[in-house]
Structure 1
């Protein structure tokens, strides 16, 4: 697939070069999302859950519009698996996840560790770990914890941070990256 540019560069080549470089002046998320446009303007999310065994691979946005049925499936997939509660996920978070995944260009879907968390689940996790925020963005459907076997935590965090769409937390000891659509910030190792 080639881009519309006259220089003949492929979309994959451009994305690979972009992801491979150390970005010091990161674009805004709007610019990052625009950069990812190829033949047709689409957004796709690919994930699986080790907890439920479910998989999702779908285009959820086409030509400037979210696809209602696809968004419903994303909301259900990202539910609190402990309580089976769902929420309307903030699509800005899904967009950040999709953009970072595209930049990384892996041959695998994300492993979703945590999407929406009910207040009950968040309180239980908080009682077991100091790393769980009392007012976690997970409880608002604005955050996800993700893993890729083929990419390091550092690689994933850099791709998400380039989007400048929210918070990016590196949890190297547990091998996952937190992405949210809150205030732009980074933390962790």
Structure 2
């Protein structure tokens, strides 16, 4: 018997080539992800914890509960370990922007979930931290890529028309959230 080895990338490519997207598309983010077949993937690392995340979190029109749990843990408040359920729409926006940027490099996540205590501490140090930040609801992420400028990431996320996108050029990151569609920053 001859066994053919297939890589994970090859398997994902086969899925992408043969699947039809069944997901509703209420925003451009989902439409952009449709071009990837019926698979959604997110790749991130955290400089704060040293952890990496590379997971397929959606297949055949369904979120994968185990992958979402991984994402919830990865995006926890690293200062105190508190976790919430991360809104998968935020992950969809980040994944769609990543696909538009056509990179293989993982995002560096600066901030995912922030507990109210962490948000208050950061707010006391910076005017740029919102009192009722969507980070406290698990609906936002602050991300960067080494190979792309803040402007490029901001443009890709804005093109999704799926939530809030903030450009923080001085701090070298882009804020993405699944709240109302809006943009800000320079």
In the TM superposition, what is the alpha-carbon distance from 1:37 to its structure 2 partner? 2.7
Aligned pairs (5 A) from 1:85-164: 85-164=82-161
2:75 aligned with 1:62: no
Does the residue aligned with 1:36 lie in a helix, a strand or coil? Answer: helix
> How far does the alpha carbon of each residue in 1:90-109 deviate from its partner, in whole angstroms, 9 at most, with x for none?
11101000000011011310
Partner of 2:48: 51
2:88 aligned with 1:77: no
Within the candidate set 17, 34, 38, 1:37 is matched to 34
TM-score by length of 2: 0.84
Give the Cα separation in 2 of the matches to 1:39 and 1:180.
21
In the TM superposition, what is the alpha-carbon distance from 1:43 to its structure 2 partner? 0.4
Gaps of 5+ in 1: 5-27
TM-score by length of 1: 0.83
How many residue pairs end up in the alignment? 166
**Is the CA contact 1:111–1:146 (under 8 Å) kept in the aligned structure 2?**
yes
Partner of 1:187: 184
Distance 1:122 1:31, change over 3 A: closer
**Is the CA contact 1:161–1:168 (under 8 Å) kept in the aligned structure 2?**
yes
Give the Cα separation in 1 of the matches to 2:29 and 2:60.
16
Does the residue aligned with 2:71 lie in a helix, a strand or coil? Answer: helix
Please identify, of 102-111 and 29-38, the stretch whose mean Cα deviation from structure 2 is larger. 29-38
- Runs of 4 or more, structure 1, over 4 Å off, are 1-4
Give the Cα separation in 2 of the matches to 1:85 and 1:111.
20
- When the two chains are superposed, the root-mean-square deviation of aligned CA atoms in Å is 1.8
